[in-house]
Amino acid sequence: MSLTTDRLEMGPVAGSASAHSGTALADPSAPLSGVPYAGLPDPGLPAPRPRIGLATRRSRRDRLAELAAQKTAAGAGWAIVVILAGVLVFLLVQGWPALAAGADDLPAHASDFWTLAGPLAFGSLWASALALSLAAPIAIAVALAITQYAPRRLRTALGGAIDLLAAVPSVVYGLWGLMTVAPLLARVYPWLTAHLGWLPFFAGQPSASGRTILTAAIILALMVVPIMAAVCREVFVRAPASSAEAAYALGATRWETIRLAVLPFARSGIISGAMLGLGRALGETMAVAMVLSPTPFLVTFHLVESSNPNTVAAFIAQTFPEAHGLETSALIALGLILFALTFAVNAAARRVAARAAGK
Amino acid sequence: MSELAITGFSASYGSFRAVADVGLTIAARAVTAFIGPSGCGKSTLLRSINRLHETVPGATVSGTVTLGGEDLYGRAVDPVEVRRRVGMVFQRPNPFPGLSIRDNVLAGVKLRRHRLAKAAADNLVEVSLRAANLWDEVKDRLGKSGTSLSGGQQQRLCIARAIAVEPAVLLMDEPCSALDPLSTLAIEDLMASLRQDYTVVIVTHNMQQAARISDATAFFSTDGPRQPGRLIEYGPTTTIFSRPAEQATADYIAGRFG
């Protein structure tokens, strides 16, 4: 059956092709760049070239469009590299002097640059890790709820609501965290130290203001959830229906189907989403700067005490307005540290995601 | 015993009725083929036997399907339990992503019994893969991903996965349509041996295949597009293919439509 239809379809196609090149084929003496519609007034456009089968060159317009697309894409690609290099050079040149600076010139009277940078880098990583470990399960659950459990009509609305969370400015999260969440948590923290104080994380004297690293991490988590949930939703939706049917046909329940057919497929996507979220948490400045009540040079894993480590981004934002000379250099060098941290996290994430995808 | 009886059965997608008023009894330990032109409802009927049809939003059924006298659509019946007794193999091989060959075979069993001794698991993997004629090809790489196999091997892996849970019935929805002739031959050979232990129902577009492998054949057709599929004729395969009672059956088998 298919053979005959193929031949039938071939007919008109071949016919139309010869009709295109008709001028040239039918009359070999016709000039190659002739005007085919000699009777019509010349509209002022370049004369169409006669088409001679496959050997026809693409039109000038096509070639220009192709060239433009290629160059624009390549230009955009290179622009990223140039901007990245520019930022790196700026950070290196401006920050370099601070590496050799002493106590008199550095912010917070740090004895040397690394004494300053170390605890801040720790603070950034610790707060982000906390935020991610709070956000990841919620984001995955939210994405599963929307893609697998919610009634069809609710899915779009729920998805939109989550996306809206991502659009809330971080300063709003900061205000809300400072004025509502922190006082609320301040009432919970004593209970945590009393009952979970045997865990080193909850040891010590609970903060009265609630402006601790855990509060900051919770606010960060709220900001990470929408990003991660959006990525997870995309990959969950794309999980092949055939695998889900296979699971159902084996007698899997809804949750077992998700475990067998959806999550394994989505693993690399989940990791990518988590890393995007981690990137956001590492770089987040405003919300942390507003919520957290930091203590200089502190490195601690305690979550609910009134003395807390600060993060790089928040420290830069808090100190920059009054910085001058080498202090400014030191802040820029801190920026370089943050840049390197984020870069390392991204690189690691790529490797993990690639490995998960390859399996 | 594990005889399937379908009576007064209709299935719809929303307002579209795909199958109307079908009644037939499918013998145990035999291969029954569903044939008919596209859109005649044979796949929908097949997917109703393990209650997979109802996982499609808006899908509804009426009528009864009984397995060994038990109503599969009874009020107290859990569809999950039905699917554990009625296995299914799909048109496209669909091993689970990220699971090894071994874990694919065990996937269904692990849903039921979470603790499985390693020796018992090893034994079950070997028995199932042997039953699916795949053991000799994969015994040295059971830890490799199921998706690393060829299409024909993946389909036999899916058969092994389905029979590992020892269902009473095995449904096959055009199991060979995505496979090359050699793999098709391997699956057809396999069906001949599966007949000894299972009630096999196969949907196929390939009439030679239906004639080769089935004991009974049901021919379905419709009066046109968007019309419900109906059962036209049902009987022993030899009768259907040599002396069909209905003109539509004869026309379809002779290749005059469909």
Instruction: Tell me the pLDDT tens digit for each residue of B196-209.
Output: 889 999 999 888 89
Quick one: closest CA in B to A239, which residue? B97
Look at residue A47 in the predicted model and tell me its pLDDT: 61
In CATH, what is the architecture of A73-358? Orthogonal Bundle (1.10)
Which helix or strand (DSSP H or E) is residue A80 part of?
A: helix A60-95
pLDDT at A114 over 50: yes
Contact check, Cβ <8 Å, A250/B158: no
Contact check, Cβ <8 Å, A252/B88: no
Which of A265-269, B129-133, B167-171 has maximum average pLDDT? B167-171
Q: Is pLDDT larger for residue A133 or for residue A307? A: A133
Averaged pLDDT, A9-26: 40
Amino acid type, B178: A
Is the alpha carbon torsion for B150, B128, B174, B205 positive or negative? positive
Please tell me the least confidently modeled range out of A34-48, A114-128, A248-262: A34-48
**3-state SS record for chain B:** CCCEEEEEEEEEECCEEEEEEEEEEECCCCEEEEECCCCCCHHHHHHHHCCCHHHCCCEEEEEEEEECCEECCCCCCCHHHHHHHEEEECCCCCCCCCCEHHHHHHHHHHHHCCCCCHHHHHHHHHHHHHHCCCHHHHCCCCCCEHHHCCHHHHHHHHHHHHHHCCCCEEEEECCCCCCCHHHHHHHHHHHHHHCCCCEEEEECCCHHHHHHHCCEEEEEECCCCCCCEEEEEEEEHHHHHHCCCCHHHHHHHCCCCC
Residues from chain B that touch A245, judged by Cβ atoms under 8 A, are 52, 55, 90, 94
Q: Is B147 on the interface with A (CB under 8 A)?
A: no
| Most distant CA atoms of chain A, gap in Å | 101
For residue B88, what are the β-bridge partners?
A: B171
Percentage of chain A beyond pLDDT 70 is 83
Separation in Å, CA of A2 to nearest CA in chain B: 13
Separation in Å, CA of A161 to nearest CA in chain B: 24
pLDDT at A35 over 90: no
Look at residue A2 in the predicted model and tell me its pLDDT: 40
Domain of residue B63, CATH code: 3.40.50.300
Binning pLDDT at 50, 70 and 90, where does residue B187 land? confident
- Chain mean pLDDT for chain B: 90
Q: Is pLDDT larger for residue A16 or for residue B228? A: B228
Residue B119: give the domain boundaries. 4-253
Task: Please return the burial class of A317, using the count of CB atoms within 10 Å of its CB with bins 0-12, 13-18 and 19+.
Answer: middle
Angle of helix B181-194 relative to helix B151-164, nearest 10 degrees?
Answer: 20
Distance of CA B36 to the CA centre of its chain: 15
Which helix or strand (DSSP H or E) is residue A235 part of?
A: helix A213-237
Residues from chain A that touch B88, judged by Cβ atoms under 8 A, are 249
Averaged pLDDT, A92-101: 84
Nearest to B5 by CA among B63, B83, B85, B81: B63
Contact check, Cβ <8 Å, A251/B108: yes
Instruction: Tell me the pLDDT tens digit for each residue of A40-68.
Output: 555 566 666 655 566 666 788 888 999 99
pLDDT at A3 over 50: no
Look at residue A288 in the predicted model and tell me its pLDDT: 86
Helix (H, G, I), strand (E, B) or coil at A10: helix
Q: Are strands B199-203 and B31-35 parallel, antiparallel or unpaired?
A: parallel
Helix (H, G, I), strand (E, B) or coil at A18: helix
Look at residue A347 in the predicted model and tell me its pLDDT: 87
Separation in Å, CA of A151 to nearest CA in chain B: 10
Which helix or strand (DSSP H or E) is residue A11 part of?
A: helix A2-20
Separation in Å, CA of A262 to nearest CA in chain B: 9
Q: Is B112 on the interface with A (CB under 8 A)?
A: yes
Quick one: closest CA in B to A242, which residue? B94
Quick one: closest CA in B to A153, which residue? B57
Look at residue A23 in the predicted model and tell me its pLDDT: 41
Contact B3, B26 (CB under 8 A): yes
Q: From the candidates B55, B159, B252, which should be mutated to test the interface with A, based on the most A CB atoms within 10 A?
A: B55
pLDDT at B230 over 70: yes
* Neighbour order of strands in the sheet with B169-173: B86-89, B169-173, B199-203, B31-35, B216-221, B230-236
Nearest to A246 by CA among B238, B147, B42, B254: B147
d(CA B168, CA B28): 9
Look at residue A43 in the predicted model and tell me its pLDDT: 54
d(CA A159, CA A148): 12
Q: Is pLDDT larger for residue B115 or for residue B101? A: B101
Indicate the DSSP class of residue A284: -
d(CA A200, CA A302): 7
Binning pLDDT at 50, 70 and 90, where does residue A28 land? very low
Separation in Å, CA of A14 to nearest CA in chain B: 29
Q: Is B4 on the interface with A (CB under 8 A)?
A: no
Residues from chain A that touch B161, judged by Cβ atoms under 8 A, are 246, 250
Helix (H, G, I), strand (E, B) or coil at A359: coil
Contact A298, A309 (CB under 8 A): yes
Amino acid type, A181: V
Token pair of B73, please? Answer: 């659509």
Look at residue A27 in the predicted model and tell me its pLDDT: 47
Number of domains in chain B: 1
Instruction: Tell me the pLDDT tens digit for each residue of B11-40.
Output: 999 999 999 999 999 999 999 999 999 889
Look at residue B192 in the predicted model and tell me its pLDDT: 87
Please tell me the least confidently modeled range out of A2-11, A187-196, A324-333: A2-11
Residues from chain A that touch B80, judged by Cβ atoms under 8 A, are 251-253
Q: Which of B52, B80, B107 sits opposite A253 (nearest CB)?
A: B80
Q: Which of A245, A256, A265 sits opposite B111 (nearest CB)?
A: A256
Place of tokens 């991903």: B145
Contact check, Cβ <8 Å, B161/A260: no
Q: Is B181 on the interface with A (CB under 8 A)?
A: no
Q: From the candidates A1, A154, A155, A250, which should be mutated to test the interface with B, based on the most B CB atoms within 10 A?
A: A250
Q: Is pLDDT larger for residue A163 or for residue B34? A: B34
Contact check, Cβ <8 Å, A249/B88: yes
Contact check, Cβ <8 Å, B84/A251: yes
Contact check, Cβ <8 Å, B94/A246: yes
Contact check, Cβ <8 Å, A251/B112: yes
Q: Is pLDDT larger for residue B131 or for residue B126? A: B126
Averaged pLDDT, B222-250: 91
Provide ipTM, 2 decimals: 0.89
Look at residue B104 in the predicted model and tell me its pLDDT: 93
Ramachandran region, residue A4 (left: φ > 0; alpha: ψ -120 to 50; beta: rest): alpha
Amino acid type, A241: A
Binning pLDDT at 50, 70 and 90, where does residue A267 land? confident
Please tell me the least confidently modeled range out of A72-76, A324-328, B62-66: A324-328
Q: Is B152 on the interface with A (CB under 8 A)?
A: no
Q: Is B165 on the interface with A (CB under 8 A)?
A: yes
Please tell me the least confidently modeled range out of A203-207, A262-266, A283-287: A203-207
Averaged pLDDT, A14-27: 41
**DSSP letters spanning A90-119:** HHHHHHGGGGG--TTTSGGG-SSHHHHHHH
Please tell me the least confidently modeled range out of A10-14, B121-125, B187-191, B254-258: A10-14
Place of tokens 């026309």: B251
Residue B258 within any structural domain of the chain: no
Contact check, Cβ <8 Å, B52/A245: yes
Separation in Å, CA of B69 to nearest CA in chain A: 21
pLDDT at B223 over 80: yes
Contact check, Cβ <8 Å, A252/B80: yes
Binning pLDDT at 50, 70 and 90, where does residue B149 land? very high
Percentage of chain A beyond pLDDT 90 is 23
pLDDT at A166 over 90: no
Q: Is B84 on the interface with A (CB under 8 A)?
A: yes
Residues from chain A that touch B54, judged by Cβ atoms under 8 A, are none
Contact check, Cβ <8 Å, B90/A251: no
